[in-house]
């Protein structure tokens, strides 16, 4: 069995639980790594120590420099297959404007909506 990896970048413990539970409900081949420190998460990915299959990021997490991170992904084929799910307020999403964001989810989504959304994304 192939294991898929998901890096969740959020400093909200409730979001950690919601996303992790939803992912584990819909897939038995996914491993979720939660990182609360946005700079550490960006360094982990950009150094290529971890290139997750799914990168889920709270656009409002402290220390996350959206445009700097996404610009760093440009022109690097190693990141082409990484699925990026951004979530937060729509106003945050409008500021980012990156071709690397594969999908966006509003912050106030109910757990059932998160689960359905993730199931559709993962093709489960």
Four-CA torsion 40, 43, 48, 53, nearest 10 degrees: 50
Answer yes or no: are the C-beta atoms of 101 and 86 closer than 8 Å.
yes
Answer yes or no: are the C-beta atoms of 19 and 113 closer than 8 Å.
no
User: Is it the case that residue 10 has pLDDT exceeding 90?
Assistant: yes
Domain-wise residue ranges, the chain: 4-116
Q: What percent of the chain has pLDDT over 90?
A: 65
Note the pLDDT of residue 66: 78
Domain 4-116 listed as CATH 3.40.1390.30: no
| Residue pLDDT, tens place only, 18-77 | 999 999 999 999 999 999 999 999 999 999 999 999 999 999 898 888 778 888 888 789
Q: Parallel, antiparallel, or unpaired for β 83-88 and 101-106?
A: parallel
Note the pLDDT of residue 8: 97
> Over the chain, what is the mean pLDDT?
90
**C-alpha of 20 from chain center:** 12
Q: Containing H/E element for 15?
A: helix 13-26
Note the pLDDT of residue 124: 61
For residues 11-24, average pLDDT: 94
Q: How far apart are CA 68 and CA 70, in angstroms?
A: 6
């Amino acid at each position: 069995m192939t294991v898929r990896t998901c890096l969740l970048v959020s400093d909200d413990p409730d979001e950690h639980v919601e996303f992790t539970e939803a992912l584990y409900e819909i897939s038995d081949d996914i491993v979720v790594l939660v990182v609360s420190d946005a700079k550490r998460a960006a360094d982990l990915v950009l150094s290529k120590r971890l290139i997750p299959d799914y990168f889920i990021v709270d656009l409002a997490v402290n220390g996350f420099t959206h445009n700097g991170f996404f610009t760093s992904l440009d022109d690097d084929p190693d990141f082409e297959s990484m699925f990026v799910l951004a979530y937060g307020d729509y106003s945050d999403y409008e500021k980012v404007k990156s071709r690397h964001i594969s999908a966006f989810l509003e912050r106030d989504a109910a757990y059932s909506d998160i689960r359905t959304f993730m199931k559709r994304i993962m093709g489960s």
